Every structure is written in C-alpha cells, then in structure tokens.
Amino acid sequence: MTRSPHFTEPAKKHLGQHFLHERRIIDKIVQAVNPQPGDRLVEIGPGQGAITFPLLDRHGELTVIEFDRDLIFPLTEAARAHGALEVIHRDVLDVDFGALAADGPIRLVGNLPYNLSTPILFHALGHAAAIRDMHFMLQKEVVERMAAAPGGKVYGRLSVMLQAYCRVTPLFDVPPGAFRPPPKVDSAVVRLVPRPAREVGIDDAALFAALVRDAFGQRRKTLRNALSKLCGAGAIEAAGVRPDARAEQLEVADFVRLANRLAAHASTTR
C-alpha cells in the first residue's frame, strides 16, 4: 500500500505507533474478518488507514476509534473515496462498546498499540456480551500467551481470563518489515470469539477475576499460599483441586469450578 498524500505525520513512539503497510498482510486481515452485509465493524487505532480503507472498500461503512488528534482530519479526508467513516476521537479504554452495540453486536478489528494491548483486551472482555468477534494484531509473544495451554511458562492470567470468555485462535504471524517504522519484535493476528454466557458458566465474574489474579500473582507459590486471602486449603480441595498445585498447572475449567464453589459458599454465609 502506497503512503496516502493526506498523511504527513510520522509515527509517534510514545503512542506505540507502527503503521502497517504490506498489502499481502492487509489482504489476509480483511479476508480473515470477512465482513458481511449488516455487520457493525469497529476498528481500534486505524492509524493511517492501512486496514481502514480496504475494509471500507469491502463493506462500505466503518466506525473507528482514534486517540491521536493529528490523524483525525487526514483519515476523514482520505476515507471519502472509500465509504462512510465514523470517527470516535477518544481513548479506547473510555469507550463503551455496549453503547456502540445498541443495534446489534459489534465486530472489533485493530492493530493494537503494544504498550496498551493487555488493558485493551481486558476492556473488551468487560463488554464481551456486546461483541461478536475480534480480530487483533498484537505482539507475537502476547498472542502466544493468550492461546497458551496449561503447564507452560507463558500460560498465565491473560491465558485463563481470555480463554474463559472467548475462543482464542492465532491466525498468522506478521514480520517487522510489514510496518513503518518496523518494531523490534514479530507480530501476529489472532481471532477471539466471545463464548455465550451459558458456555462460560462463571457465576461471579469479579470473584473469578480476583481468584485468577491472586493465583498468578506469585507464580512460584502453591495455591494454598497464593489464594490464602480468598480461601483455605479445604475449599480448594472441595473443588477437586490440589492445594499444593501451582496456578500454571490448572485448566481453565479448574479455575471456573473453584470460583463457582467459593461464590456458592459466600452466598450461603451472607
């Protein structure tokens, strides 16, 4: 993709900007999203429009969330030749995805800034009921953590939280040279599809989040010690989990079962 004459601002390092430019990768992302008539597409961090304009060409309309004021005018001007673009000038962490989904679930797309990727992922999780699916480009190491299985060093809080609420599917890797300026790490594109509430099966979302946070807070600790503020060894055993196990040894289902047992016990003692 050639550089648009509308864009003169260089990437801003403090915003974690790396602008995608390789057409082959852009086409693969648009193909993975595969927008259909009636879809409500929302792109996070459109930058210079590398994904924005092909999506507009394919779909005709798109909402984008952009924090960098200097990109708003050139995006709006360049979009006129491609379709109807709605620009929300705001920090994505302050955007209510539920409000954007007033007419139906939204589909999120984005080349996420590496320095904010995890907060954005957790923000999206908080609005999972309003989201149909997500296609994000992230640092490859983050995607590996998102999709990791129990027992490995990269399996952690992010793995459990995302897999509990979403089906996580890594799609393809993206080399540094696909960006301007090139980052110092490889990237990857991942698809997340929120699970229906009945499939998630978590009775108390706040308690579940606290349990997972504490369990991985100090990875070397056994669950007996790591979860001492939330429960005792007896409660852990009652959920069919070994108190001397460490967090990375547990399946996502084990965390759900333990959290639900704690929630049930709490409700009976109120």
Binding-site residue ranges for S-adenosyl-L-methionine? 18, 20, 45, 66, 91, 111
Q: Decide if 108 contacts 131 (C-beta within 8 A).
A: yes
Cα end-to-end distance, the chain, whole Å: 61
205-217 vs 157-165: helix axis angle to the nearest 10? 160
**250 contact partners, CB below 8 Å, separation of at least 6:** 150, 215, 223, 241
Single-letter amino acid code for the residue at 10? P
Q: What are the angstrom distances between the C-alpha of 258 and each of 98, 102, 157?
A: 29, 34, 15
Report the alpha-carbon distance of residue 191 to residue 48 in Å, rounded.
22
Binding site per annotation, positions: 18, 20, 45, 66, 91, 111
| Total Cβ atoms within 10 A of residue 24 | 8
